[in-house]
Amino acid sequence: MTERSVEVSVVLPAYNEERTIEPIVRETRRALASFLPSDSFEVIVAEDGCEDDTPAIADDLAETFADVRHFHSDERLGRGGALNAAFQTADGDVLVYFDTDLATDIDHLERLVESVRSGEYDVATGSRWMPGSVADRPAKRGVPSLAFNVAVRVLLGSRLRDHQCGFKAFDRSAFEELRPLVENEHWFWDTEMLVRAQRRGFRVEEFAVDWKPREDSKVDLASDIVGMGTQLLRCWWEFSVASRVNRRRSALAGLVIAFAAALVLFYFESR
């Protein structure tokens, strides 16, 4: 029996996706097989403490297809935490993930994979804000997204336009270097990965994608705005301020940030 030589590992982070996970896995396999040898990729369902039938469906898919695996967690790890854990079990040298709502057109998958697989880039990411992108989003999501990305560019010195698009690929060595540095294990994981990648001198490609949001998004706009803002300030403090102040001042600033975040959360919840 010939041992499989996996080059590309695609992780699908899944939380309560019983209605969609099977067609998504099948579509992912189809897309990968259109430009990669059949024995050179694997698809990993990173099932993150689900409360529905997603685990059973993922088990069935892993039994049906030799190139599908199921990573299970009994407890919620968060989006970033689930990706970290699943990537560490992956066999490929190119580590890819995209959101299971397929908001980003899967026709872009070949470019995402080949940007890193070719050795030209260490990290690749889709962008909904670059010229040429097509992103059909309501203003209630578009305005906060644009403001957040501008803030990341200004406060953290990023050169990218879109940090939260759930469509990314990493060279394994780059991922292994970045993973211990990234503190956040939920939504801000994407941004922190990209910012730290740039600061470490990795080659990052950002390219325009077609994107359409899912109606039943799991994003909680109010609380996630507060959470993302807090994490943004944490990184800004680390990169720009922490080395210049003592521990007492850092603790005081942390309390101020936490209090401001609580006020913003109260404002959104009271509306």
Residues recognised as catalytic:
190
Residue 153, classed as helix, strand or coil, is: helix
Contact 146, 164 (CB under 8 A): no
Strand 41-48 relative to strand 8-14: parallel, antiparallel, unpaired? parallel
Q: Any idea what the Cα angle at residue 16 is, between residues 176 and 264, rounded to 5°? A: 75
Output the CA torsion sign for 70, 52, 185, 201: positive
Q: From CA 214, how far away is CA 100, in angstroms rounded?
A: 10
Contact 235, 159 (CB under 8 A): no
